[in-house]
Chain A
């Protein structure tokens, strides 16, 4: 058994809410409560839950945008939240993210090629920026000359391809996809899911795939973690969980996703 690519242990995250009264202590919201999971290279872990389930907070902690209040995230043997700012910036090329909103995740004032090359500039790669940008564009099924266009010239699906190109341009080991296909039309959704699978096969990516849609998760994930109100309610191999959902909540989600319910 090889060491996992990402090992998240007993993560918790609390938010202090605004005070309701001067005298009482401010209420505390537990967004993530004692969640553990691992992701191996070439494997996809799906995290399913609805708004308020804590899945996006989890993604932000894995991306080291936020510190967990308890627990640790170990990526390629390094504890993400013990690293110095500069060491973390360097390590960031190894884990990248694709966001939900294909219209918000690209700077409207920058050419697509500029945005795709941004992670390369961040780590100080100057020499073959152009070559690698073109390579990334081709990997996601776009044309090299698309680099000179602006985001508004593309459809939602194409923009999500661009966002994926930006995420893989540094040749990362882990991709975090937060509702990456939720905003897309059904016919485009399948294209993007297939693209993620192709990239995973070609590059051996580990993928953390976050979604509220069980049907989408089922089509791409090996492992599954179902979350409700910040707590993990069910976890295991995706096929197992979907065939025999043990928790009532998983059953509800499955019912909502079925065309022939």
Chain B
């Protein structure tokens, strides 16, 4: 359905996204994991045709075989809402505080599908029910500030589903929410994707949420897709040093803070910090922080290698390979 081939987005000399290859099929649930500056949000914006004007795009972005890389805003407007929709991190900021949430949800149906108000209202009602908003008739008439954070996120999901998109992009949908609310929203997204046969791209820095929500995972660092595979396999047996470091640095809630001698356990860390976009290393983006680095890492970009079973990683030092 959606296909990226060697897709690059850059701002002058700063590359936000470098030669990304990605295929999204109907019903896929794909997690995109990375830290700030990894390019994950840039990727989402490109899939929505919402890359900033200053970005130069290269490579190919196809939707159903049509090249959309340099498509016009008008062409994208046809895609948005009906083919691809998006929900954002901050549910309060994404809703107009002066409009009733019902009107907000009905707008795309009236604009895109030319539904009458009554029809649109009917569909909004059933959407509110579908996303688990209690007492939907009353909620339609309420303003965003009258809803809790979780309810607002549900409204935004209903809004995104208004025109039955084939792909839903969720950019950090649970980061601003409390843990138990976040769990329920995550489960809701999974349920909706399964029931509707809709593809879901779940972008987050939270490995726990990705493990819960997705079948496949892409790990991003510094604008590169460093590893890809099924979520279960990648999390259980990471191949790329960055994925390993990221999983190691994530504190384990069941681990003890002190060993049996009463000494504190230190957490494994990735040294250094994510370099800013304009000073990323030329070769592997992880060079300089990588524990197993060899000289050519800094200068040569490791090509993505097929490890079998849909598993791909971009590193010079993968299993069984020695320089």
Contacts and interface: CB of A to CB of B under 8 A. Distances in A.
Classify A-B as touching or not with yes or no (CB < 8 A). Answer: yes
Contacts of A157: 273
Residue among A156, A186, A190 with most chain B CB within 10 A: A186
Interface string B94-136: 0000000000000000000000000000000000000000000
Contacts of A220: 257, 264
A261 interface: yes
Contact of B253 (A155, A190, A252, A257): A257
B269 A194 contact: yes
Residue among B257, B264, B265 with most chain A CB within 10 A: B257
A191 B269 contact: yes
A256 B175 CA distance: 12
A185 to B, nearest CB: 4
Interface in A157-208: 157-158, 185-191, 193-194, 197, 200-201
Interface stretch (A2-10, A89-97, A210-218): A210-218
B212 interface: yes
Contacts of A257: 179, 208, 253
Nearest to B209: A256
B253 A51 contact: no
A254 interface: yes
A50 interface: yes
A50 B148 CA distance: 14
Main secondary structure of the interface of B (DSSP, over half): loop
B250 A215 contact: yes
A219 B180 contact: no
Contacts of A256: 179-180, 182-183, 208
Interface residues of B, number: 38
Contact of A218 (B245, B257, B273): B257
25 contacts: A50-B178, A50-B179, A155-B274, A185-B35, A185-B36, A186-B35, A186-B205, A188-B273, A190-B251, A190-B270, A191-B271, A193-B251, A194-B266, A197-B266, A215-B252, A221-B257, A222-B257, A239-B256, A252-B179, A252-B180, A255-B183, A256-B180, A256-B183, A257-B179, A260-B235
Given A187-B245, A189-B251, A218-B257, 16 more contacts: A50-B179, A186-B207, A187-B249, A190-B251, A190-B267, A214-B253, A215-B253, A218-B253, A219-B257, A220-B257, A239-B257, A252-B183, A256-B183, A256-B208, A258-B253, A261-B212
Interface of B: 35-36, 178-180, 182-183, 205, 207-208, 211-212, 235, 245-258, 264-271, 273-274, 276
